[in-house]
Structure 1
Amino acid sequence: MTVTGIITALIVGLVIGALGRLMVPGRQNIPIWLTMLIGVGAALLGTVIARAAGLADTSGVDWTELLLQVVLAAIGVAIVAGVGGRRGVSRY
């Protein structure tokens, strides 16, 4: 992978992670680097699933693939924020 490919993957991961984070209601106490990591993972997993399902072979923008990636990022952010939130101070 080239340097340009790595930078592109990080930018796409940041955008996908941010969109996924916006979909999750409430406040998530996770750092931006973890959001970006979740976004990169969701983007890769979403691409694999879309290609396996035959959804990535369209002309133009693959909206279904993008939506799948954002939903996977939202699920990832919700899981990580939920697990991290349990380690915090008890409300009671």
Structure 2
Amino acid sequence: MSPVMLNSIRTCLGCRARSEPALLVRIAAQGDEAVVDHDRRLPGRGAWVHPTQQCAERALRAIPRALRQRHLDTSPIARWAQDGLA
């Protein structure tokens, strides 16, 4: 497998299914909060989830570990999931 193919597949933090980045939403840390990175340009590590309420809610506990920030407020992601993933 070429490196390009490996880089183009991401794992959803909620359901653990592998998908292309176009089908996933990137979550990144901004300060002490986890936020949805709509433009996929925020610096640092990113976590990927399917844009479904189920995947977003399942991912909440794993986001701080995935972004390697122990004390990270995930409430913006919880609100995003409850508000219809807009």
TM-score by length of 1: 0.28
Looking at secondary structure, tell me which structure has more helix per residue: 1
Higher relative contact order (CA 8 A, sep 6+): 1
TM-score by length of 2: 0.29
